[in-house]
A = this chain, B = another copy of it.
Amino acid sequence: MNLRYDEVVRSGIAKQVAENIRSAIMDGRLKIDERLPTEDDLARSFGISRPTVREALKRLAAQNLIHSRRGPQGGNFVKRPDPEGLSKAITGAATLLVGVGAFDIDEIVTARLETETICCRLACENRQEEGLQAMAAEILVQQDASISDEEFCASDVRFHRALIDSSGNGPLKLMMYTVIEAFIPITNMIVFRVRERRQVVAYHTQIIDAVRARDAGAATAALSELLSYVRTSYSAALDARGKREKT
């Protein structure tokens, strides 16, 4: 272990140290599950104080790069990167972006349509009973008229997640969890008023039937109709809001 910072810039020591250790992890000088030197040793070897070291370590912990244990044989350890955690982090940040209005609904719907179409196709090729069952379960939930809008939306998200999972493609899943968790709610929430749940469920059913039959054409067609339905519902909701504001 040879962590030492090369050039002392004026400020942000903690940041530099974090960056230093981070790059050591990234290029493999620190391996997975390896223990870092103790905080005291780090402080000594970097020539800084322990709280500063800790600030640096907290930055890394926030990025899910390390975790810590107390006690003897404890310490700070390089964490094995997990797609699940990354997905969550991306989703949170993407949700913020959406909340801030960084994207307009039209491009979100387009992105959803294009990317989920891929998933439909791959799901048809790679059809697994597990994914089909997960989707079917969500359809059952959605048919229950007593659930709230929020629950319906959550089930909607899970349905599309299952569709993505069925693609069986890891990198694609990583990319798309973002879209789903962050982008579906914003489209749904706006649209709820005008939107017929039964219509949505009908499209979902079409999709799952098509995937089961390995009919990619039918699956993507149903998806396309679902999203154009969402798009028109959104326009309708906007119009309604416009009228209300005129009064």
Chain A residues in contact with chain B, CB under 8 A? 14, 18, 25-26, 28, 32, 51, 54-55, 58-65, 80-81, 83, 86, 89-90, 92-97, 99-100, 102-103, 107-108, 110-111, 114-115, 118, 121-122, 168-172, 174-176, 178-179, 183
Interchain CB contact (< 8 A) of A18 among B62, B63, B93: B62
**Would you list the 6 A-B pairs with minimal beta carbon distance, nearest first?**
A62-B62, A59-B62, A111-B171, A114-B118, A81-B96, A111-B172
Complex: chain B residue closest to A168, CB-CB? B107
Shortest CB–CB separation between residue A189 and chain B, in angstroms? Answer: 13
Shortest CB–CB separation between residue A138 and chain B, in angstroms? Answer: 23
The answer to whether B58 touches A14, judged by C-beta atoms less than 8 angstroms apart, is: yes
**CB-defined contacts of A61 to chain B, threshold 8 Å:** 59
Complex: chain B residue closest to A97, CB-CB? B81
The answer to whether B122 touches A97, judged by C-beta atoms less than 8 angstroms apart, is: no
Complex: chain B residue closest to A63, CB-CB? B62
Known: A115-B175, A175-B115. A86 touches B81 (CB 8 A): no
Interchain CB contact (< 8 A) of A83 among B54, B97, B121, B183: B97
Give the most central of A65, A80, A114, A121: most B CB within 10 Å.
A114
**CB-defined contacts of A81 to chain B, threshold 8 Å:** 93, 96-97, 100, 102
| 19 A-B pairs in the complex with CB atoms less than 8 angstroms apart | A55-B58, A58-B58, A58-B59, A58-B62, A60-B62, A62-B63, A63-B93, A64-B93, A65-B96, A81-B97, A86-B93, A103-B171, A107-B170, A107-B171, A110-B169, A111-B169, A111-B172, A115-B175, A175-B179
A176-B111 Cα distance, complex, nearest whole Å = 11
